[in-house]
Structures are given as structure tokens and as C-alpha cells.
Amino acid sequence: MVLLIERRKTISIKILIVDDEEIILEEASEALTDEGYECFVASNVEAAVEIVKTTPGIRLILTDLKMPRKTGADLIMTVEIELEKDIKFLVMSGHGSPRVPGNDINIASYPFLRKPLGIENLIEKVGSVLETKG
């Protein structure tokens, strides 16, 4: 008897997921890994910045907006301005609108995903953001 196993192709696109909630990190990374993406996770902005510095080829950062100490907006500013990296962002929040005080980043100009995350919605939004140019 021959057993055929279907194997998903590897997309080999690197995604960094940043959230202070462990369950979000687990669910998002599992869902995106199942889709063939290579996922990295960080529970705070400082850890995320280290991953960006040491991991070449990250194409997308999926970040929570409100986290202790530093916010997703702080992460965007660090990556885009200080590190001068050309990485796409997808901002997520359990709050109604993507607003955060304290820096000059226009969060409303970034793609937004409302929490709690629906896995199908997450996968669709990630694919959409990765397909956009710029």
C-alpha cells in the first residue's frame, strides 16, 4: 500500500509576529506556518527589533498596537526610520481604532486587523498586504 501525503509548498516569506499575548503569537504563527510562511515571534518591541537586526529577509511585521512599555507605533518608527528597513507592516488591535499617542507615525495609513483574530481573515489580510507594492 502506498500512502500519499500532501505537503504544502513552502512560500519562504519571513513574517515577524509581535504581541504581548502568548495565545495570539501561537495562533497566528501556527496558522501562517501552515500556509507555508516562515514565522518569527516576539512578545515585545525590544525583542522584535533584535530579530529584525539579526534576521535578513523579513518581509512583513504583524504587530499589536498596544503593548506594555513600547507600542506597535514605536516599532514601526524604529524599523522604518532608525534601522531604515523596507518591511511591510500589518497593525492589529483589540481596540476600535488604530490610534496611539506619542509619536509621529500615522497608524491609520497602515493596514489594520481587528482582534480577536479570525484565522481565515488573518491569512487573507497577510496575503493582501504582501501582494501590494510599496
Q: Collapse the DSSP code of 129 into the 3-class scheme (helix H, G, I; strand E, B; otherwise coil) and give the result.
A: helix
| Tally of structural domains, the chain | 1
Whether 25 is in a domain gets the answer yes
Tens of pLDDT, residues 109-127? 899 999 999 999 999 999 9
Cell of 5: 501525503
Whether 8 is in a domain gets the answer no
Q: How many CA atoms lie within 13 A of 61 on its CB side?
A: 32
Indicate if the pLDDT at residue 24 is higher than 80. Answer: yes
Whether 51 is in a domain gets the answer yes
* Mean predicted confidence (pLDDT) in 54-69: 95
Whether 117 is in a domain gets the answer yes
Q: What's the distance, CA 79 to chain centroid?
A: 13
Could you give the angle at which helices 22-34 and 119-131 cross, rounded to 10 degrees? 70
Whether 3 is in a domain gets the answer no
Domain that holds residue 28: 14-131
Whether 102 is in a domain gets the answer yes
What's the pLDDT score for residue 99? 58
Whether 1 is in a domain gets the answer no
Tens of pLDDT, residues 5-18? 444 555 689 999 99
Whether 41 is in a domain gets the answer yes
CATH classification of the domain holding 74:
3.40.50.2300
